[in-house]
Chain A
Amino acid sequence: MLLYTSQRLVLSVVIVMVAVSILTLMLHVVPGDPAVMILGPRATPELIEQTREAMGLDKPLPVQIVTFFGNILRGDLGQDVFTGREVSQIVFEQLPYTLILISVSILWAAVLGIALGCYSALRRNTWLDTLTGVLSVGTISIPAFVMALYSVLVFAVWLQWLPAIGAGEGFWDGATHLILPSFAIGVSWVGYVSRIVRASMLEVMGQPHVRMARAYGLPDGWITRSHILKIAVQPAVTLIGTGVAHLFSAAVFVEVIFARPGIGALIVQAVNERNYPIVLGAVLVTTGIIVLATLISDLVIAWLDPRQREDM
């Protein structure tokens, strides 16, 4: 188990490093002076020279990559081209907003999705099962940013029930400001999760060990929890674990549409300013979190299912 975890950890780090290398390489593959490209049309010759030196762009490529990774390992993501502030500081200032947003979104979606999926599997062909099925297809078909636009339209513009702008201040205000954004991100996940849980529940319900549990007169609720759900929830865990990348993508739109602070809004702003160090830093941190999430979901599955511990 320990060996497996450390192997996965090493592999994860390698994946993040490869991912970052790809982005750094892209900067150099494109014809033209990277410093000019980073700074865009506003660049003065002095600024270009300064940037080139600050980012080590005047050194050979392998040296750059090595120093770059060295810096990352020391927690140094470079400096903002314009203000000179530490990129890591800027990114970690914004990160909590995004993490709270996507955690709240996936949490309510997973809880509701698992509950609906369970219900649908246990009570097949009831009206709630049919409704869940239809709504799942419907919500899955709507991209997060379209869902966000409709949330604004319906709940903030027409009904005026909920605030749609900013992150709010204090706990309660913050919570009410989270409702619409987390709805927009989470609603399609309710569909994904309920569909996959329903399908895998139905599969597990047909397995001999469930019949065996029934043959011993164990109560139905008990069988559902420890004999069916514990196995049937695994695909949902994997889905969510690998879906964190999609959550970040959705967060970009939701933060822009609801004018919330966060890492997505930061990236969009940095792209508009062509502030490459911030973009790169933010992408690096995001990718790191995504790889970590996949790792965590694998560990959760290993914890749920002893068979996986040895296969891995």
Chain B
Amino acid sequence: MTDATQEAVSEPGVLSRTWRVLSASPTGLIGFVLVALIVGSAIFAPWIVPYDPAAIMTGPRMAPPSAEHWLGTDNIGRDTFSRVIAGGRIAMLVAAASLAAALSIGLLLGLIAGLGPRWLDNILLLIFDALRSFPTIVFGLAVVTIIGPSLFTVMLVVAITSVPIYARIVRTQTMALKNAEFILAERAMGVGTPRLLFVHVLPNVLGPLLILASMDVPLVIATEAGLSFLGMGVRPPTPSWGVILNDGYNFIRNSPWPVIGGSIPIILVTLGFTFMGEALRDIFDPKLRKAG
């Protein structure tokens, strides 16, 4: 009953705020458009690519952009545009899978830290701090030494290094809510912990988390591209933006086009998700502005 009325009240608010935020700054709109394009091209990649991303000698080697090859070709004549689109699919897959894993684990550990006994909270905090003190790439390289380079390794590295951030936020929110008056009142009326979690804590925590996660997408993609660039992530011949850049780097004195073609999507993804995240944050949770 209260939930329904709340929703009815908040709906026009969100719509008008969306309108206000998007009309105040065009960057938010640009962000949404870019993200839509990127996600769309990742989903429909197999139907968009003009050439088989793995096919060699689709044209001359290291050709500059042309009507046939929008972003030119690489050292063995593969079409860079097709490889960039196919690489986007990999990047989005890594981002979606690893962030989903990080969010669920972070949520769980954050709730445990927030609601559990103090000693457990302290131990978890210490582990979070320890994980955060690793540089992502250096930690990733260490993991690669142990389990070898693969798509899964990349996702594992991203998930592990992102968990502490989300867990900390969930923990703070949970602790704040734990002592909120309405929670204490419900507790006094005998409402059980699981119910409290699902009705109050989760809805309050999930929104900010998703917004933060969307702003973390560029970081994940840079990590994937970076590890793949070093040859420690996605292995060739699977097309990844990092792999394209590595091929381009090896022949940088012959042709700049693979490097340029491989880097454009990384920059666009970063801009797109950052702008979108900022707009989402302004629309749904102006308070995050300070916290972030």
Name the CB-closest residue of B to A275: B145
CB neighbours of B252 from chain A (8 A) = 149, 152-153, 157
Asked if residues A143 and B222 are in contact (CB atoms below 8 Å), the reply is: yes
Asked if residues A253 and B270 are in contact (CB atoms below 8 Å), the reply is: no
* Residue in contact with A22 in the complex, picked from B130, B222, B226, B263, CB distance below 8 Å: B130
- B251 CB, nearest partner CB in chain A, Å: 11
CB neighbours of A256 from chain B (8 A) = 230
Asked if residues A274 and B267 are in contact (CB atoms below 8 Å), the reply is: no
CB neighbours of B132 from chain A (8 A) = 245
Asked if residues B267 and A157 are in contact (CB atoms below 8 Å), the reply is: no
Residues 214-243 of chain B, each 1 if its beta carbon lies under 8 Å from chain A, else 0: 000010001001100111100000000000
Asked if residues B135 and A249 are in contact (CB atoms below 8 Å), the reply is: yes
Question: Does A252 count as interface, using CB distance less than 8 angstroms?
Answer: yes
Instruction: Knowing A27-B146, A153-B259, A245-B135 are in contact, say whether A279-B253 is a contact too (CB < 8 A).
Output: no
- A112 CB, nearest partner CB in chain B, Å: 22
CB neighbours of A276 from chain B (8 A) = 145-146
Asked if residues B229 and A145 are in contact (CB atoms below 8 Å), the reply is: yes
Determine the distance from Cα of A290 to Cα of B137 in the docked complex, in whole angstroms.
14
Question: Does A185 count as interface, using CB distance less than 8 angstroms?
Answer: no
Question: Does B185 count as interface, using CB distance less than 8 angstroms?
Answer: no
Question: Does B51 count as interface, using CB distance less than 8 angstroms?
Answer: no
Question: Does B39 count as interface, using CB distance less than 8 angstroms?
Answer: no
Determine the distance from Cα of A252 to Cα of B134 in the docked complex, in whole angstroms.
13
CB neighbours of B126 from chain A (8 A) = 14-15, 18
Asked if residues A245 and B134 are in contact (CB atoms below 8 Å), the reply is: yes
Determine the distance from Cα of A15 to Cα of B103 in the docked complex, in whole angstroms.
23
Question: Does B271 count as interface, using CB distance less than 8 angstroms?
Answer: yes
Residues 179-214 of chain A, each 1 if its beta carbon lies under 8 Å from chain B, else 0: 000000000000000000000000000000000000
Question: Does A141 count as interface, using CB distance less than 8 angstroms?
Answer: yes
Interface size class for chain B? 35 or more
Asked if residues B256 and A157 are in contact (CB atoms below 8 Å), the reply is: yes
Question: Does B133 count as interface, using CB distance less than 8 angstroms?
Answer: yes
- A69 CB, nearest partner CB in chain B, Å: 14
* Residue in contact with B270 in the complex, picked from A142, A245, A290, CB distance below 8 Å: A142
Asked if residues B134 and A279 are in contact (CB atoms below 8 Å), the reply is: no
CB neighbours of A157 from chain B (8 A) = 252-253, 256
Asked if residues B271 and A19 are in contact (CB atoms below 8 Å), the reply is: no
* Residue in contact with B137 in the complex, picked from A140, A142, A149, A249, CB distance below 8 Å: A249
Question: Does A280 count as interface, using CB distance less than 8 angstroms?
Answer: yes
* Residue in contact with A283 in the complex, picked from B134, B231, B260, B274, CB distance below 8 Å: B134
Question: Does B147 count as interface, using CB distance less than 8 angstroms?
Answer: yes
Instruction: Knowing A18-B127, A137-B271, A146-B266 are in contact, say whether A287-B134 is a contact too (CB < 8 A).
Output: yes
Asked if residues A270 and B145 are in contact (CB atoms below 8 Å), the reply is: yes
- A180 CB, nearest partner CB in chain B, Å: 13
Residues 62-84 of chain A, each 1 if its beta carbon lies under 8 Å from chain B, else 0: 00000000000000000000000
- B78 CB, nearest partner CB in chain A, Å: 19
The count of chain A contact residues (Cβ–Cβ below 8 Å) is 52
Asked if residues A283 and B142 are in contact (CB atoms below 8 Å), the reply is: yes
CB neighbours of B263 from chain A (8 A) = 142, 146, 149-150
Asked if residues B267 and A294 are in contact (CB atoms below 8 Å), the reply is: no
Determine the distance from Cα of A128 to Cα of B138 in the docked complex, in whole angstroms.
37
CB neighbours of A274 from chain B (8 A) = 145
- B35 CB, nearest partner CB in chain A, Å: 14
Asked if residues A143 and B138 are in contact (CB atoms below 8 Å), the reply is: no
Question: Does B183 count as interface, using CB distance less than 8 angstroms?
Answer: no
Instruction: Knowing A18-B127, A276-B145, A279-B145 are in contact, say whether A286-B270 is a contact too (CB < 8 A).
Output: no
With A140-B270, A149-B249, A153-B256 known, 20 other A-B pairs at CB within 8 A are: A15-B126, A23-B142, A26-B143, A141-B271, A143-B226, A150-B259, A152-B252, A246-B135, A249-B226, A252-B135, A252-B138, A252-B141, A253-B137, A264-B138, A270-B145, A276-B146, A283-B134, A286-B135, A286-B138, A291-B133
Q: Which 10 residue pairs are nearest across A and B when measured between Cβ atoms?
A: A249-B137, A18-B130, A141-B270, A143-B222, A19-B130, A248-B135, A245-B135, A249-B135, A146-B263, A279-B145
The 20 sampled A-B contact pairs (Cβ below 8 Å) are A18-B129, A30-B146, A37-B146, A137-B271, A142-B266, A145-B226, A146-B245, A149-B248, A158-B256, A245-B136, A246-B136, A247-B135, A248-B138, A252-B141, A256-B230, A267-B141, A271-B144, A271-B145, A279-B142, A291-B133
